[in-house]
Amino acid sequence: MVHALEKIHRLIKPGGCLIDIHPSGEPPSLEVQAGTRVTLAGWLHESDDYVEYGYADEALARVVESGLFRVERQGTFEFVMRADSLADLRAFLAEGWEDASIDDRAAASIEELMGGPEQDKEVLLREVVRIVRLRPVPVRQSGAAQASAGDQGRESETFEDDS
Protein backbone atom coordinates (compact mmCIF):
# COMPACT_ATOMS: atom_id res chain seq x y z
CA MET A 1 0.00 0.00 0.00
CA VAL A 2 2.85 2.40 0.79
CA HIS A 3 4.36 1.66 -2.63
CA ALA A 4 0.98 2.34 -4.24
CA LEU A 5 0.74 5.66 -2.42
CA GLU A 6 4.26 6.56 -3.54
CA LYS A 7 3.23 5.86 -7.12
CA ILE A 8 0.05 7.89 -6.73
CA HIS A 9 2.18 10.74 -5.39
CA ARG A 10 4.18 10.71 -8.64
CA LEU A 11 1.07 10.70 -10.81
CA ILE A 12 -0.57 13.71 -9.17
CA LYS A 13 0.28 17.18 -10.42
CA PRO A 14 1.74 19.69 -7.97
CA GLY A 15 -1.23 21.28 -6.25
CA GLY A 16 -3.44 18.26 -6.97
CA CYS A 17 -5.02 16.05 -4.35
CA LEU A 18 -5.71 12.48 -3.31
CA ILE A 19 -9.13 11.55 -1.99
CA ASP A 20 -9.27 8.37 0.06
CA ILE A 21 -12.66 6.81 0.77
CA HIS A 22 -13.05 3.71 2.89
CA PRO A 23 -15.05 2.38 5.85
CA SER A 24 -14.06 3.77 9.22
CA GLY A 25 -13.82 0.38 10.90
CA GLU A 26 -16.82 0.90 13.17
CA PRO A 27 -19.11 -2.14 13.01
CA PRO A 28 -22.00 -1.46 10.61
CA SER A 29 -25.39 -1.33 12.30
CA LEU A 30 -28.37 -3.45 11.26
CA GLU A 31 -31.63 -1.54 11.47
CA VAL A 32 -35.23 -1.81 10.42
CA GLN A 33 -37.04 1.22 9.07
CA ALA A 34 -40.82 1.26 9.24
CA GLY A 35 -42.15 4.51 7.87
CA THR A 36 -39.98 7.17 9.45
CA ARG A 37 -39.10 5.06 12.49
CA VAL A 38 -35.70 3.37 12.52
CA THR A 39 -34.95 0.67 15.11
CA LEU A 40 -31.54 -0.84 15.80
CA ALA A 41 -31.57 -4.63 15.43
CA GLY A 42 -27.89 -5.47 15.90
CA TRP A 43 -24.48 -5.23 14.33
CA LEU A 44 -22.87 -6.84 11.33
CA HIS A 45 -19.92 -9.09 12.09
CA GLU A 46 -16.93 -8.62 9.83
CA SER A 47 -13.81 -10.74 10.02
CA ASP A 48 -11.44 -9.52 7.35
CA ASP A 49 -12.14 -6.33 5.42
CA TYR A 50 -11.96 -4.09 8.46
CA VAL A 51 -8.59 -5.52 9.40
CA GLU A 52 -7.39 -4.76 5.87
CA TYR A 53 -8.79 -1.23 6.02
CA GLY A 54 -6.89 -0.83 9.28
CA TYR A 55 -3.71 -1.67 7.39
CA ALA A 56 -4.68 0.92 4.77
CA ASP A 57 -5.03 3.51 7.53
CA GLU A 58 -1.58 2.58 8.80
CA ALA A 59 -0.09 2.97 5.31
CA LEU A 60 -1.68 6.40 4.94
CA ALA A 61 -0.35 7.39 8.34
CA ARG A 62 3.13 6.27 7.29
CA VAL A 63 3.21 8.37 4.11
CA VAL A 64 1.93 11.38 6.04
CA GLU A 65 4.55 10.83 8.72
CA SER A 66 7.27 10.52 6.08
CA GLY A 67 6.22 13.83 4.56
CA LEU A 68 4.97 12.48 1.22
CA PHE A 69 1.40 13.66 1.78
CA ARG A 70 -0.24 16.17 4.05
CA VAL A 71 -3.74 15.56 5.45
CA GLU A 72 -5.74 18.61 4.52
CA ARG A 73 -9.25 17.61 5.47
CA GLN A 74 -11.03 14.56 6.80
CA GLY A 75 -14.53 13.59 7.76
CA THR A 76 -17.09 10.82 7.70
CA PHE A 77 -20.42 10.12 6.06
CA GLU A 78 -23.00 7.37 6.43
CA PHE A 79 -23.37 4.85 3.63
CA VAL A 80 -26.70 3.06 3.90
CA MET A 81 -27.61 -0.14 2.10
CA ARG A 82 -31.34 -0.93 1.95
CA ALA A 83 -33.01 -4.31 1.39
CA ASP A 84 -36.65 -5.37 1.29
CA SER A 85 -35.95 -8.41 3.46
CA LEU A 86 -33.34 -10.13 5.56
CA ALA A 87 -33.03 -12.76 2.82
CA ASP A 88 -32.20 -10.07 0.26
CA LEU A 89 -29.58 -8.56 2.52
CA ARG A 90 -28.04 -11.99 3.09
CA ALA A 91 -28.01 -12.64 -0.66
CA PHE A 92 -26.19 -9.36 -1.18
CA LEU A 93 -23.61 -10.20 1.47
CA ALA A 94 -23.10 -13.70 0.06
CA GLU A 95 -22.41 -12.27 -3.39
CA GLY A 96 -19.97 -9.51 -2.60
CA TRP A 97 -19.04 -9.43 1.07
CA GLU A 98 -18.35 -12.99 2.05
CA ASP A 99 -16.63 -12.37 5.36
CA ALA A 100 -19.62 -10.48 6.74
CA SER A 101 -22.25 -12.27 8.80
CA ILE A 102 -25.45 -11.60 10.70
CA ASP A 103 -25.73 -13.47 13.98
CA ASP A 104 -28.88 -15.31 15.07
CA ARG A 105 -29.85 -12.70 17.63
CA ALA A 106 -29.72 -9.83 15.15
CA ALA A 107 -31.49 -11.93 12.52
CA ALA A 108 -34.32 -12.74 14.95
CA SER A 109 -34.62 -9.08 15.87
CA ILE A 110 -34.81 -8.06 12.21
CA GLU A 111 -37.45 -10.70 11.45
CA GLU A 112 -39.52 -9.60 14.42
CA LEU A 113 -39.36 -5.94 13.41
CA MET A 114 -40.08 -6.78 9.77
CA GLY A 115 -43.12 -8.76 10.90
CA GLY A 116 -44.82 -5.68 12.30
CA PRO A 117 -48.03 -4.28 10.83
CA GLU A 118 -46.43 -1.19 9.22
CA GLN A 119 -46.13 -0.89 5.46
CA ASP A 120 -42.95 0.03 3.56
CA LYS A 121 -40.45 -1.65 5.84
CA GLU A 122 -36.79 -1.99 4.92
CA VAL A 123 -33.72 -3.61 6.42
CA LEU A 124 -30.88 -1.10 6.64
CA LEU A 125 -27.16 -1.76 6.87
CA ARG A 126 -25.55 1.51 7.95
CA GLU A 127 -21.80 1.98 7.64
CA VAL A 128 -19.66 4.92 8.68
CA VAL A 129 -17.24 5.76 5.88
CA ARG A 130 -14.14 7.90 6.22
CA ILE A 131 -13.15 10.42 3.55
CA VAL A 132 -9.78 12.17 3.57
CA ARG A 133 -8.25 14.78 1.28
CA LEU A 134 -4.47 14.64 1.09
CA ARG A 135 -2.10 16.99 -0.68
CA PRO A 136 1.10 15.58 -2.14
CA VAL A 137 4.16 17.30 -0.75
CA PRO A 138 6.82 17.93 -3.44
CA VAL A 139 9.60 15.41 -2.96
CA ARG A 140 12.33 18.05 -2.59
CA GLN A 141 10.32 19.53 0.28
CA SER A 142 9.22 16.30 1.88
CA GLY A 143 12.13 16.14 4.31
CA ALA A 144 11.35 19.54 5.71
CA ALA A 145 7.67 18.83 5.42
CA GLN A 146 8.10 15.77 7.59
CA ALA A 147 8.92 17.97 10.52
CA SER A 148 6.47 20.72 9.80
CA ALA A 149 3.45 19.45 7.91
CA GLY A 150 2.18 16.39 9.73
CA ASP A 151 -1.38 16.99 10.73
CA GLN A 152 -1.08 20.74 11.05
CA GLY A 153 -3.91 22.79 9.75
CA ARG A 154 -6.16 19.88 8.88
CA GLU A 155 -9.87 19.98 9.25
CA SER A 156 -11.85 17.16 10.79
CA GLU A 157 -15.57 16.90 10.47
CA THR A 158 -18.58 14.78 10.05
CA PHE A 159 -20.00 15.31 6.60
CA GLU A 160 -23.61 16.31 7.06
CA ASP A 161 -26.10 15.07 4.55
CA ASP A 162 -28.40 18.03 4.08
CA SER A 163 -30.88 16.25 1.83
Partner 1 sequence: MQVRRLSHNQNMPVRLDSEDSETKALLDFVGSFAGKRVLEIGCGDGRLTWRYAKHAARVVAIDPDEDEIRVALEDRPHDVRVEFRAVGIEDFDAPDSVFDTAILSWTL
Q: Which residues bind partner 1 (CB under 8 A)?
A: 1, 3-4, 7-8, 10-23, 48-49, 52-53, 55-56, 73, 75, 77-84, 88-89, 91-92, 95-97, 125, 129, 131, 133, 159, 161, 163
CA proximity to 8, closest of 49, 53, 68, 67: 68
CB of 130 to partner 1, least distance (A): 10
Q: Which is nearer to partner 1, 35 or 117 (CB)?
A: 35
**Integer CA distances (angstroms), 69 to 2, 4, 114, 156, in order:** 11, 13, 47, 16
Q: Which is nearer to partner 1, 51 or 144 (CB)?
A: 51
**133 φ/ψ angles, rounded to the nearest 5 degrees:** -110, 125
Q: Which is nearer to partner 1, 104 or 161 (CB)?
A: 161
Q: Which is nearer to partner 1, 117 or 161 (CB)?
A: 161
Residues 6+ apart with CB under 8 A from 5: 18, 59, 60, 63, 68, 69
CB of 128 to partner 1, least distance (A): 11
Contact 117, 35 (CB under 8 A): no
